[in-house]
Amino acid sequence: MPITPHVEKHFLASATVRDIVIGMADGLTVPFALAAGISGAVAANPKATGIVVTAGLAEIAAGSIAMGLGGYLAARTDFEHYSSERQREVRETLELPDQEEEEVAKVFRDYGLENEQIAPVVAAICADQNRWVDFMMRFELGLESPDPLRARRSALTIAASYIFGGLIPLAPYMVLPSVLNGLWFSVGITLIALLVFGYVKGHFTGIRPFRGGLQTVLTGGLAAAAAFFIARLIS
Amino acid sequence: MPITPHVEKHFLASATVRDIVIGMADGLTVPFALAAGISGAVAANPKATGIVVTAGLAEIAAGSIAMGLGGYLAARTDFEHYSSERQREVRETLELPDQEEEEVAKVFRDYGLENEQIAPVVAAICADQNRWVDFMMRFELGLESPDPLRARRSALTIAASYIFGGLIPLAPYMVLPSVLNGLWFSVGITLIALLVFGYVKGHFTGIRPFRGGLQTVLTGGLAAAAAFFIARLIS
C-alpha cells in the first residue's frame, strides 16, 4: 500500500476509536432513553425504580451483546469478502489474463493517458502476479486488505463501550430511592456525558467539537423524548 | 471512477441493503431480548404484559431514533470529511506541486515501475488539476466521493427497518393476554424471523445463507438469554 510521509496530516480515525464511538453513542443514548421512557410510565407503581433498573440492565446486556456480535460478524464478513474477491482476481489473472490486463490499462486510460504510455506501466504491474492482484483489489474494486484480528477486538471494544456508556444514565436510578429523582439526575448527568462524548468524538472525526457535542445531545434528547411520550401514551 | 464491464460479477452490497441490514439486525435482536428479559422478571406483576409492551415500544422508539440519527450523522460526517480532504488536496497541488507530483510517482514506484516509465504517466495525470486531485483522493487516501443525498435516505431506511424488525418480537405480547404465552410466541416467531433475515442477509453479503441464518439466531439468542438472566438476577 503506498504510504507517503505527509499522509499523517490527513485525519483518519483508527478502527478502535471508531468502535468506541459506535458503542458509546448507542450505549449512552438507548438505555438512557428507555429508562426515561419507562420511568414516566411506571412512576405510580411501588416497584417503579426496580422495574426501571431491571429494564435498563436487561437493555444494556442485550444491546452490548447484539452490537458486539454484530461488530464481530461485520468484521468477519469483511475479511471473508476480501479473501474470496482476492481468490477470484487470482483466478481471473490466470484464466483471462488479456481481459485483466485490459482492465489495468483501462484504469490509466480513464486518467487520460495514451496507449503508448500505458503499455510499459501495464507490463510492469502484470509482471508480478501478486502485485497485479493487489492493483486490481485496490484500484478496480476499492478494497483494502482487512486486519484478520480485528473481529474479536472490535466486538470487545464495542460491547465494553456500550456497557460503560449505558451504566452512566442508569446509575442515578440505582442509588436514589425515588424514580422521579432518578429521572432528573439521569437526564442531567447523561446530557453532560453526551456533550463531553460528542465534543471528544467531534475532535476525533474532524467535525467541530461544539457541533459534535450538540449533535449527540440532540440525538439522545430526541430518542428519550420519543420513548417518554410513547410510554406515556400507552400506559 | 474506472468502471469495467465485468465489475458486476463482484458482489458489492448497495448502501440501501446495508442500511436495512443495520436496522433490522438490531431491531430484531434488542427489543426481542429486552422484552424476553423483562417478562421473566415481572411475570408475577399483575400489569406484566403492559410493562413489557411499554418497555418494548419505548425501546423501539429510542433505538430507531438513536440508530437513524446515528446513520444520518455518520453519512454527513463522511461527506464533510471527503469535502475537507479534497479541499486540502486542491490546496496542496497549488502550494506544493512538486511534493504532490512526487506522491503520484510514489504510487507507481511502489508497483515496481521505473522512473522513465513513471514520468509520462505523472505528467498526464497532473496536467489536469481535477484529475490530479481525484487521483490523490482515491489512490493516496483511499476515499471515494460519497453521495450527498445519502444521509437522509440512510437515516429513514435504518429507522424504518429497526421499527419493522422490533415490532415482530413485540406483537405476541400485544395480542396474547398472558405474558408467559407472549414470551413463548415471541421466542418462536423471532427465531424464525432471525433465521429468515440471516439467510437473506447471507445471500446479500456473500456468506453462505445457512451460516448467515445461524449467526443471527445465535446473536439474538445470546442477547436474549443474557437479558433474561440479568433481569432475573436483580429482580
Contact A8, A44 (CB under 8 A): no
pLDDT for B1 beyond 80: no
CA triple A78-B190-B155, angle to 5 deg: 55
Pairwise CB contact (< 8 Å): A112 & B120: no
- Chain A, nearest residue to B12 by Cα: A141
**Closest Cβ–Cβ partner in A6, A25, A139 for B70:** A25
pLDDT band with cut points at 50, 70 and 90 for residue B13: low
Mean pLDDT along residues A119-134: 85
Please write the tens of the pLDDT for every residue from A158-187: 999 999 999 999 999 999 989 999 999 999
Q: Check residue A59 and give its pLDDT.
A: 92
Pairwise CB contact (< 8 Å): B77 & A10: no
Mean pLDDT along residues A199-221: 84
Average pLDDT, chain A: 85
Pairwise CB contact (< 8 Å): B2 & A234: no
Pairwise CB contact (< 8 Å): A219 & B33: no
Pairwise CB contact (< 8 Å): A120 & B125: no
Q: Which residues contact B213 (CB under 8 A, 6 or more apart)?
A: B194, B195, B196, B197, B198, B199, B202
Pairwise CB contact (< 8 Å): B42 & A59: no
Contact A145, A82 (CB under 8 A): yes
Q: Check residue B2 and give its pLDDT.
A: 35
What is the model's pTM? Answer: 0.81
**Closest Cβ–Cβ partner in B30, B42, B58 for A66:** B30
pLDDT for A75 beyond 80: yes
For chain A, the helix, strand and coil percentages under 3-state DSSP, each to the nearest 5: 85, 0, 15
Pairwise CB contact (< 8 Å): B65 & A206: no
Q: Which residues contact A87 (CB under 8 A, 6 or more apart)?
A: none
- What percentage of chain A exceeds 70 in pLDDT? 94
**Residues of chain B contacting A70 with CB distance shorter than 8 Å:** 25-26, 219
Please write the tens of the pLDDT for every residue from B128-181: 888 889 888 887 777 777 887 888 999 999 999 999 999 999 999 999 989 999
How far apart are the C-alpha atoms of B158 and B20, rounded to whole Å?
6
Smallest CA-to-CA distance from A56 within A27, A80, A81, A79 is with A27
Q: Check residue A13 and give its pLDDT.
A: 54
Q: Check residue B171 and give its pLDDT.
A: 96
Fill in the DSSP letter of residue B146.
P
Please write the tens of the pLDDT for every residue from B121-130: 888 888 888 8
Q: Check residue A35 and give its pLDDT.
A: 92
Amino acid making up residue B73: L
How far apart are the C-alpha atoms of A131 and A146, rounded to whole Å?
17
Q: Check residue A175 and give its pLDDT.
A: 95
With a threshold of 0.90, tell me whether the complex ipTM lies above it: no
Contacts of A108-114 with C-beta under 8 Å, sequence gap 24+, read A108/B121, A110/B1, A110/B2, A111/B124, A111/B125, A111/B131, A111/B135, A112/B124, A112/B125, A112/B127, A112/B128, A112/B131, A113/B120, A113/B121, A113/B124, A113/B125, A114/B124
**Residues of chain B contacting A54 with CB distance shorter than 8 Å:** 37-38, 41-42, 231, 234-235
- What percentage of chain A exceeds 90 in pLDDT? 32
How far apart are the C-alpha atoms of B25 and B2, rounded to whole Å?
33
B184, burial (CB in 10 Å: exposed 0-12, middle 13-18, buried 19+) = middle
Q: Select the residue from A26, A29, A53, A54 to test the B interface by mutation, using most B Cβ atoms within 10 A.
A: A54
Please write the tens of the pLDDT for every residue from B187-222: 999 999 999 998 888 887 777 888 888 888 998 889
Pairwise CB contact (< 8 Å): A66 & B219: yes
How far apart are the C-alpha atoms of A31 and A60, rounded to whole Å?
7
**A43 three-state secondary structure:** coil
- Chain B, nearest residue to A96 by Cα: B6
**Which residue did the predictor score with more confidence, A74 or A190?**
A190
**Residues of chain A contacting B66 with CB distance shorter than 8 Å:** 25-26, 29-30, 33, 219-220, 223
Smallest CA-to-CA distance from A139 within B2, B39, B151 is with B2
Pairwise CB contact (< 8 Å): B50 & A120: no
Q: Check residue A181 and give its pLDDT.
A: 93
Pairwise CB contact (< 8 Å): B58 & A45: no
Fill in the DSSP letter of residue B125.
H
Please write the tens of the pLDDT for every residue from B35-80: 998 888 888 888 889 989 999 999 999 999 999 988 888 888 888 8
How far apart are the C-alpha atoms of A50 and A39, rounded to whole Å?
10
**Closest Cβ–Cβ partner in A73, A142, A223 for B65:** A223
Which triple of cell numbers denotes residue A123?
Answer: 507490463
Contact A109, A118 (CB under 8 A): yes
**Residues of chain A contacting B30 with CB distance shorter than 8 Å:** 30, 59, 62-63, 66
Contact B28, B165 (CB under 8 A): yes
To the nearest 10°, report the CA torsion of B118, B124, B128, B131: -60
> How far does B8 lie from chain A, in Å, by closest CA?
10
Phi first, then psi: what are they for A176, rounded to 5°? -95, 140
Residue B143, CB-side half-sphere exposure with 13 Å CA sphere: 22
> How far does B175 lie from chain A, in Å, by closest CA?
14
**Residues of chain A contacting B35 with CB distance shorter than 8 Å:** none
Which triple of cell numbers denotes residue B104?
Answer: 503520484
**Closest Cβ–Cβ partner in A1, A73, A112 for B128:** A112
**Residues of chain B contacting A46 with CB distance shorter than 8 Å:** none
Helices A150-175/A48-95 angle, 10° precision: 170
Contact A231, B52 (CB under 8 A): no
